[in-house]
Structure 1
Amino acid sequence: MTDNSNTYLAVFLGSRTSPQWKAWEALSEADRKAREQQGMAAWHAWVNKHKDAIAGLGGPLGKTKRVDNGGITDISNEMGAFTVVRAASHEDAARMFENHPHFAIFPGERVEIMPVLPIPGG
C-alpha cells in the first residue's frame, strides 16, 4: 500500500472563456510565443526549486471523456494539468504554488491543492 501522508494533488485550472484567456488569444503570434518561452522557463525554474518536494511531476491534460450510467460522453472542464507534491502541511503545499507561472505568465486562473487521503480500510 502506498503511504499518502503529506501528499498533495495540485490541479491547474482555467477557463477558455476567462478574461486571462481572451487577453492571451489577443496577443500577436510573436508575443504569444515569447510569453510561452518565458512561461516554460519559469515553470522549469519552479520545478527545479521544488524538485525535492515533487512526488509526481504530472503533466498537461488532454480532452476529457466522462463515463457514467448513460455511457461515454466527450465533455469539457477547466482542468489543464496536475502535479503531486509532498509537504509538511496543506498550507506548506499551497505556498509552493504562490505566483506560479500557470497564472502569473500563462492564462491559467488558479491551482487547487488537496491532500491525498489514505484509502479507507487500506
Structure 2
Amino acid sequence: MKPEDLASFRSLPKAEQDAVDAVGLEQWAAWEDRNAASILDRGGMVGKTTRVTKDGVAAAVNPFCGYLVVEAESIEAAARLFQDHPHITVFPGDGVDIMPFLT
C-alpha cells in the first residue's frame, strides 16, 4: 500500500472511512470464505518496518501492510485468487504481491 494512498484514505471524514470499512470488511470476510480451502494462514496487518543491517538498526519503509499465506497449484493460480480481493477493489491498496515459499 502506497503511503500517500493510505494518507489520502485517512484524510477522509471518519464517516466516509467507516462506510468504506463496513463494505470492505464484509467483502473481505466473503473473499476469505470463498477461498478458505486455499488459506493456510490468515496472517494479519503489519506495523512499521525496522531494518537490521551489518551497520545497525534503523527505521525503514516497504509497501507491505499485511500478509496472508495461501496454497495453490502455481503462482498464477495464487495470483488469480487475489484478482477480486477487497484490498485492491475497496480499500486503498495498490496491489497484492505474490511470493512463493521456496523449498
Taking structure 2 as the reference length, the TM-score comes to: 0.91
- 1:1-122 equivalence runs, <5 A: 14-18=1-5, 21-22=7-8, 24-118=9-103
1:55-112 Cα offsets, whole Å, 9 max, x none, are 1111100111100011111122211011110111111110000021001110010001
RMSD of the TM alignment (CA)?
A: 1.4
Q: Which runs of 4+ in 1 moved over 4 A?
A: none
Point out the structure with the larger helix share. Answer: 2
Q: Which is greater in Rg?
A: 1
Where in structure 1 are there 5+ consecutive unaligned residues? 1-13
SS in structure 2 of the partner of residue 106 of structure 1 = coil
Q: Distance in 1 between matches of 2:65 and 2:38?
A: 21
Where in structure 2 are there 5+ consecutive unaligned residues? none
Taking structure 1 as the reference length, the TM-score comes to: 0.78
Q: Distance in 2 between matches of 1:71 and 1:86?
A: 35
SS in structure 1 of the partner of residue 36 of structure 2 = coil
Q: Counterpart of 1:110 in structure 2: which amino acid?
A: G
Point out the structure with the larger strand share. Answer: 1
Q: Distance in 1 between matches of 2:12 and 2:2?
A: 17
Equivalent residues, number: 103
1:29-75 Cα offsets, whole Å, 9 max, x none, are 10110111111111111111111100111110011110001111112
